[in-house]
Amino acid sequence: MELRKPPLATIHDAHGAKTTEFGGWEMPVEFDSIRTEHESVRESVGKFDVSHMGEIEVSGPDAAELLGRLTTNDVSALAHGSAQYAMITDTEGTILDDTVIYRLPETHDADFLFVPNAGHDEEMAERWATHRDEWGLDATVENRTEAYAMFAIQGSDAVGLVASAADDAGEPLADLGRFAATDATVADSDCLAARTGYTGEDGLELIVPWGEAEAVWDAFDCQPCGLGARDTLRIEAGFLLSGQDFHHEENPRNPFEADVGFAVDLDTEFVGRDALAHVAEAGPDERFVGFELETRGVPRHGYEITDSKGTTIGTVTSGTMSPTLSTPLGMGYVPTEYAEPGTTIAVRVRGEPKEARTRALPFLER
Question: How near is the Cβ of 351 to another protein at its closest, in Å?
Answer: 12
Asked whether the beta carbons of 331 and 319 are under 8 A apart, the reply is: yes
**Residue 267 CB-half CA count within 13 A:** 5
Asked whether the beta carbons of 9 and 26 are under 8 A apart, the reply is: yes
Is 54 or 297 the residue whose CB approaches another protein more closely?
297
- If binding is defined by CB under 8 A, does position 300 make contact with another protein? yes
- If binding is defined by CB under 8 A, does position 323 make contact with another protein? yes
Asked whether the beta carbons of 28 and 13 are under 8 A apart, the reply is: no
Question: How near is the Cβ of 322 to another protein at its closest, in Å?
Answer: 9
- If binding is defined by CB under 8 A, does position 94 make contact with another protein? no
Is 296 or 309 the residue whose CB approaches another protein more closely?
296
CA gap 307, 312 in Å, rounded? 7
CA gap 208, 144 in Å, rounded? 11
Residues of this chain, 100-129, that bind another protein according to CB under 8 A: none
- If binding is defined by CB under 8 A, does position 144 make contact with another protein? no
Is 311 or 326 the residue whose CB approaches another protein more closely?
326
DSSP per residue, 117-131? PTT-HHHHHHHHHHH
- If binding is defined by CB under 8 A, does position 301 make contact with another protein? no
Q: How far is CA 192 from CA 9, 44, 55, 108, 147, in A?
A: 22, 23, 12, 10, 13
Give the phi and the psi of residue 360 in degrees, each rounded to 5. Answer: -70, 145
Asked whether the beta carbons of 116 and 128 are under 8 A apart, the reply is: no
Taking the C-alpha atoms of 238, 242, 246 and 247 in order, what is their torsion angle to the nearest 10 degrees? -170
From 185-193, 195-203, 224-232, 304-312, give the range in contact with another protein by CB under 8 A.
224-232
Among 297, 314, 330, 332, binds another protein (CB under 8 A): 297
Strands (E), 195-350: 203-209, 223-225, 286-293, 304-306, 312-321, 328-335, 344-349
Number of residues that bind another protein (CB under 8 A): 17
Is 309 or 350 the residue whose CB approaches another protein more closely?
350
- If binding is defined by CB under 8 A, does position 351 make contact with another protein? no
Among 129, 222, 321, 339, binds another protein (CB under 8 A): 321
- If binding is defined by CB under 8 A, does position 350 make contact with another protein? yes
- If binding is defined by CB under 8 A, does position 232 make contact with another protein? yes
- If binding is defined by CB under 8 A, does position 298 make contact with another protein? yes
Residues of this chain, 12-51, that bind another protein according to CB under 8 A: 16, 29-30, 33-35
Question: How near is the Cβ of 332 to another protein at its closest, in Å?
Answer: 17
Contacts to another protein by CB under 8 A: 16, 29-30, 33-35, 228, 231-232, 296-298, 300, 320-321, 323, 350
